[in-house]
Amino acid sequence: MGIVANCLAVRAQEGDTLLGQVGAVRTGQTGDWSEAVYAGKTFGSGWYVLVIQGRRFDPDHDLAPLAAGREILHLYVDDVVMHSSAVLMKDGKVVWRVTSDADEGYSEDGQPPEGLPEILADLRRQQDEQDPDDPATDYIFDAPIEAAGLVTGFRGLADTHDPALGAGFELLEPPARPGLLASLGQIFGFGRKG
């Protein structure tokens, strides 16, 4: 598959604020989230989900300012290296974190969402039922995605073969990036002054 993506989710009424903070711009065009680098959608759960494809978001650096004074969920999925993680923060503090890593295994911190233990048990059962001579799938990889889905209603990164899970997203204009000259001007203090 080759999915590398971040999802940021906030309460629906804060969706426009989140877009402003990350610099994405509404286009009014809709489609599958996979058709754009930035895509967003409000779910019936009352959460606005912003999908950012690639490694354009650094949670260690970028998440804390976005978490101040609100509830925010961050999901990171990299199925190339089989790493997934989800964290729910409230007022800048971690409420829970769920991580699955091919090398380091599965871990939980805090109190993950209700319903996750049953999902995790099912994923472990599927993992155990695989042919031991050909363990082709890491089912536990989906646990953080499912945890995020229990909160937001979006689990389209877990089952990308179901087109309905990725449909109806607004395809967003990515943040404008300053050109090389503008960046050098900011660093060295030359160029237009405001």
DSSP of 19-60: HHHHT-B--S-EE-GGGSSEEEEE-TTSEEEEEEESS---HH
How do 38-42 and 169-172 pair as beta strands?
antiparallel
In sequence order, the β-bridge partners of residue 88 are 73, 96
The CATH fold assigned to 4-178 is Alpha-Beta Plaits (3.30.70)
Q: Give the model confidence (pLDDT) of 51-74 as tens digits.
A: 999 877 777 778 888 898 999 999
Residues 129-160 have pLDDT tens digits of 887 777 678 889 999 999 999 999 998 776 55
Q: Cα(137)–Cα(51) distance, rounded to whole angstroms? A: 24
> Is residue 161's pLDDT more than 60?
no
Query: Domain ranges in the chain?
Result: 4-178
pLDDT of residue 148: 96
pLDDT band at 177 (very low <50, low <70, confident <90, very high): low
Model confidence at 187: pLDDT above 60: no
Half-sphere exposure for 122 (CA within 13 Å, toward CB)? 8
| pLDDT given at position 158 | 67
Give the confidence band of 46 by pLDDT, cuts at 50, 70, 90: very high
pTM of this structure? 0.84
Average pLDDT on 109-132 reads 92
